[in-house]
Chain A
């Protein structure tokens, strides 16, 4: 429990991906089975149980601390579990909590009525770090910024070349905590665990953004074109016994989209785009976001924001692995599959015919519908390969829209950028007032970052913790993919992928764009 608590504490403060992987790798190398497997499950969100409500922590603490001291402490710290972990009075002589696996087993097996006494005994014998880990574990919120993918990358490092993260991905959803067979495989002590009939995720094939030089060199006859839809990439996996809807990052999102799962009346693995579609018209991304924000969907959300999958590839038909086939051959299989099964809530992403690159460019420029981000170009003879192989799949996004906005606030970045003010909030004019419309922390060059950092420091008018308010005097050309109405933003508009396109120190702030101009550019639905 101590090693896991120390890991959580380090992870919570570590912004860098590489550093997180190094911490995880060491934990997997030094902790023993089954503790490390339970730790892996807890980190990747596979350990779904809630042993206690926050109210239990409050009750336990109230019985042990002075109410006034508790109130002052809670007020200062601001987080209940952390306050409890820090101020819990240690009781010498209490029995230390067992290892992580035994702790989790006890939390699951112990009747609700006996839980408070057991937990209190562990807390009595622990230090603040272990207490916080215990409390976060029972309330189900570790929040240390470790994705399942990151954990798999760390496992792959532990495997020292024997097993790749993609190979782990393909067995992952067929395994269960404490992953003893997985560790044995990764460490070269055992065979690859057989996922058998489990609905496992397959690492998806990803596209590179196309650069002008790549485009110039492109052979139009070798490539096929489709629209790039503005939803989220999903993988539909159905076996004889189970159905799963996975996000691109291998997160199981089946529970949130029951209507899709219900429509998966087949055996196979398909690749597509999850969208909200009403009467055949694709809704803006914000509508899908509403569904994604909730773990489960209520009846009303299901009715008003119906989900839909636009399919563009088939990886398995039945149990037949099609990934080694060319794109053209897979497309033919997909079309035949679709004609045969006609699944509800799904259609095929249409192929776009073209003969020349000029024709393709005209198609791309002509597409203004909000649901289309641009074009996908896929080599007709390419197999389905995991990861981001070069030259096989390209994404060719439409030219972004731009606005000239005024820099309003800046915040320091993280990790390598922690000494730079690198997160910028910008605004547009509404009457004589500037209204913030978005935040951007990318798009600039290293030299521009140095300029912006110095400018922010020299033009600070107020500080709010890590945030500096600056003179409203610097114009930034902000690029974005689409503007969508938003009730959550003060300005009434949300930007998709805003980034800094150019600095405009030459332009006076009062010549920046007005909010009305942006509102007028809100793309129509469909």
Chain B
């Protein structure tokens, strides 16, 4: 059985599967790309042929337009596909809508490239499915024991509590446009918030795509068209870059909130001028990362990006060999997307 490092390699363009003739989440334009999910650091424009889940392809069309790639091909969950000598299939990663792990098999040796993932239930994304493998390729965005995400419902309750305490102020929540925004809306709806939710322009199109893909989000309205009185006591979602900047001046004495795994650390929240930090992340926390390594049972783990040092150290103590791939270019949007 060939060792995975003989057939899956890091090149300047990204992770290259030689016997299959394709890249996974390449960092520059290539001939054939398999894309795990539609975030811009993993899905860059310009590839000649793209393979991804149907949801990811729909989201990419919204984000980048129809002409971003030569051809696209959607692969159903668990459906096996032969690319040259390699058998490939997709399993849900739980990260955002359409996010997939890519399972690869060549001559009896199996690698799972997990992309970005989380383990906690998310009403807007299919839950993570562990796949046994010889090498598990993982992210390590929150790979420090200080990162333990509380239950998301508890964080939503803190937001709604603040809305009740400051009924005359709008609550503007900084969140990434793809995934976090829709998850927050779904969590708010699940907590009983059925009033309109106001959106920054950057969030509108992706919410429409989510709704078209069967994720109900309720009454959403563009914040730019709101009367000042509409926004008192309202919840507004906007990109993290807008919440404490000029765009937010239209809001009624806003309480600046941000939803991200980074909000667990006070210094990070302060830096962004956040008044109500909400620890809600689409990435696995420390416990989830370690539990996942144990569950997939791979003797070897490759870490794409993040705080790989701590994860490799912790894995090593359990007899798992760790290797840092140092794929520069992933996590560019961590601060926003996490």
Contact = CB atoms under 8 A, between A and B. Distances in A.
Which secondary structure dominates where chain A touches chain B? helix
Query: Chain A interface residue count: which class?
Result: 20 to 34
Contact of B265 (A14, A77, A127): A77
Nearest to B314: A69
A13 B146 contact: no
A133 to B, nearest CB: 13
Interface string B255-281: 110000000111101110111110000
Interface string B304-316: 0001011001100
B196 interface: no
Nearest to A87: B145
Given A22-B166, A419-B244, A72 B310 contact: yes
A116 interface: no
A471 to B, nearest CB: 20
B148 to A, nearest CB: 7
A73 interface: yes
B245 interface: yes
A73 B145 contact: yes
A82 interface: yes
Given A19-B166, A77-B265, A86 B146 contact: yes
B267 A78 contact: yes
Contact of B146 (A68, A87, A418, A465): A87
Nearest to A86: B146
Contacts of A77: 146, 265, 267
B169 to A, nearest CB: 8
B273 A86 contact: no
A23 B146 contact: no
Residue of B145, B249, B265 with most chain A CB atoms under a 10 A cut-off: B145
Contacts of B1: none
B271 A466 contact: yes
Interface in B297-326: 307, 309-310, 313-314, 317
A160 B145 CA distance: 46
Interface in A96-130: 127-128
B144 A76 contact: yes
Interface string B116-145: 000000000000000000000000000011
Contacts of A15: 275
A128 B263 CA distance: 13
Given A68-B313, A73-B145, A127-B150, A13 B276 contact: yes
Interface in A1-56: 6, 10, 12-15, 19, 22-23, 26
Contact of A76 (B165, B265, B269, B275): B265
A14 B145 CA distance: 27
Nearest to B256: A418
Contacts of B158: 6
B253 interface: yes
A73 B144 contact: yes
B146 A73 contact: yes
B248 interface: yes
A506 interface: no
Contacts of A13: 266, 269-270, 274-277
Contacts of A12: 266
A416 B254 CA distance: 8
B107 interface: no
Contacts of B267: 77-79
Contacts of B148: 86, 128
A416 B317 CA distance: 49
A59 interface: no
Contact of B275 (A14, A89, A465): A14
A22 B162 CA distance: 11
Contacts of A87: 144-146
A402 interface: no
Contacts of B277: 13
A66 interface: yes
A54 B275 CA distance: 28
Given A69-B145, A73-B146, A416 B269 contact: no
> 4 closest Cβ contacts across the A-B interface?
A86-B146, A87-B145, A418-B273, A418-B244
Given A22-B165, A86-B148, A418-B244, 10 more contacts: A15-B275, A19-B275, A65-B145, A69-B314, A77-B265, A82-B265, A86-B145, A87-B144, A87-B145, A128-B264
26 contacts: A6-B158, A10-B162, A13-B274, A13-B275, A13-B277, A19-B166, A68-B310, A72-B144, A72-B310, A73-B310, A76-B146, A76-B265, A76-B307, A77-B146, A78-B267, A79-B266, A82-B266, A83-B146, A86-B147, A86-B264, A86-B265, A87-B146, A89-B145, A412-B273, A418-B244, A466-B273
Interface of A: 6, 10, 12-15, 19, 22-23, 26, 65-66, 68-69, 72-73, 76-79, 82-83, 86-87, 89, 127-128, 412, 414, 416, 418-419, 465-466
